[in-house]
Amino acid sequence: MCVQWILLIFSVSLTSCHSLPERIVGGSSISIRSVPWQASLQKYGKHWCGAVIYSSDIIITAAHCVKGVSAGAFSVRVGSTYTRYGGQVVKVSKILGHESFDKSLANDIAVIRLQSKLSLGTAVGSIPLAESSPATGSSASVSGWGSIGYQRPMSKALHGVSVDIVDRNKCQRSYSGFITKEMICAAAPGKDSCSGDSGGPLVSNGELVGIVSFGMDCAHPKYPGVYANVAELKPWILKAIQRI
């Protein structure tokens, strides 16, 4: 009887744990002003993926966010902490995804040209691309409107979380050889990006070091988040911007 009560109390407290105000897998609500390069890539007017402002008319996102969809379906919202209102909304004119992005998920990067220029200000700004990959253990932050936990709802307000760059070989072992040099891994206990954050920024030292790409589950202790490695992909990005 007593044991049953203890079990009952335990399960009640477990269920109520789930209704605590959970943040994006260990992060917290942030203002767009702290990450003015963050954009919401919208498909038919609804948040679809994260994206990053490179310049007033060039946006970077993940290839898997735009693959097989025509440019006309997309717009970006910038300068707002929310995906549904505020800031500026500009239509996409052209998309160029990496030619070698495929099932291996390597080269998960795309550049977007906007139909008109964004007006830059305190809530809307660009971020430089990293020259070299950050060292293992470097601290980085990732932001987005993605899910606040694996198979949990999307977040209406922007969230951010800080994670550490994971050793490539360690990440390679987690994903049994799947990790290429065009990928970079980051993790911290109970902290991660999640579905809906894809295409968004991983920033370290004021530079864009990664684009949210994939992960097994979210904040899984054995599986780091995997990002497109911006420093490795920089030559492709710069050429793509010339071509688009």
Judged by the rule CB under 6 A, the positions of this chain that interact with ligand ARG are: 146, 192-198, 212, 214-215, 218, 225
Minimum gap (Å) between residue 183 Cβ and ligand ARG: 12
Which residue's Cβ lies closest to ligand ARG? 215
The token pair at 51 is 């994206």
Question: Which CB sits closer to ligand ARG, 61 or 80?
Answer: 61
Euclidean distance between CA atoms 177 and 90, whole angstroms: 40
Options 47, 108, 133, 174, the catalytic residue: 108
Pairing label, strands 58-61, 225-229: unpaired
Minimum gap (Å) between residue 193 Cβ and ligand ARG: 4
Options 75, 147, 198, 204, the catalytic residue: 198
Question: Which CB sits closer to ligand ARG, 71 or 216?
Answer: 216
Of 37, 39, 35, 36, nearest in space to 92 by CA? 39
Of 81, 79, 65, 49, nearest in space to 193 by CA? 49
Question: Which CB sits closer to ligand ARG, 22 or 57?
Answer: 22
- SS3 of residue 202 by DSSP: strand
The token pair at 134 is 């950050």
Whether 241 contacts 234, CB under 8 Å:
no
Question: Which CB sits closer to ligand ARG, 130 or 219?
Answer: 219
Options 64, 133, 147, 213, the catalytic residue: 64
- SS3 of residue 61 by DSSP: strand
Minimum gap (Å) between residue 215 Cβ and ligand ARG: 2
Question: Which CB sits closer to ligand ARG, 42 or 193?
Answer: 193
Minimum gap (Å) between residue 226 Cβ and ligand ARG: 7
- SS3 of residue 173 by DSSP: helix
Residue 56 burial class via C-beta count within 10 angstroms: exposed 0-12, middle 13-18, buried 19 and up: middle
Minimum gap (Å) between residue 46 Cβ and ligand ARG: 14
64 as an active site residue: the answer is yes
Just list the catalytic residues.
64, 108, 198
